[in-house]
Amino acid sequence: MDFYDCPDKVAQAMREVRALFRPVYDALYEAGNMGAGRGSGGLGAFWCRGRFATIQSDYLALVGPEIGKKYILPALEEGGRRP
């Protein structure tokens, strides 16, 4: 209901969370000592020599196309871009 009741707050919260994604991922990558050829993985049976993350949204199935296109898909696209 927040998408309808206070869409500006939802958009702001999503921007704040997306701004934290890379710094948190980088910190976990370093803390897990995944560098130096050890690699990383994500959901499912995937492994990568470098950095890897599964970017997805189960929530997309619970909202209509308009909200999905406005809020969810841009976040997924941003998360999939290389820095």
pTM of the predicted structure, to 2 decimals: 0.70
Upper half-sphere CA count for residue 18 (Cβ side, 13 Å)? 19
pLDDT tens for 26-40 read 898 888 887 777 878
15 vs 79, which has greater pLDDT? 15
Distance, first Cα to last Cα, the chain: 33
pLDDT tens for 22-79 read 899 889 888 888 777 787 877 777 778 888 778 888 888 999 999 999 999 988 888 8
User: Residue 66: which domain range?
Assistant: 2-80
25: helix, strand or coil: helix
Task: Give me the number of domains the chain comprises.
Answer: 1
Write the single-letter amino acid at 40.
S
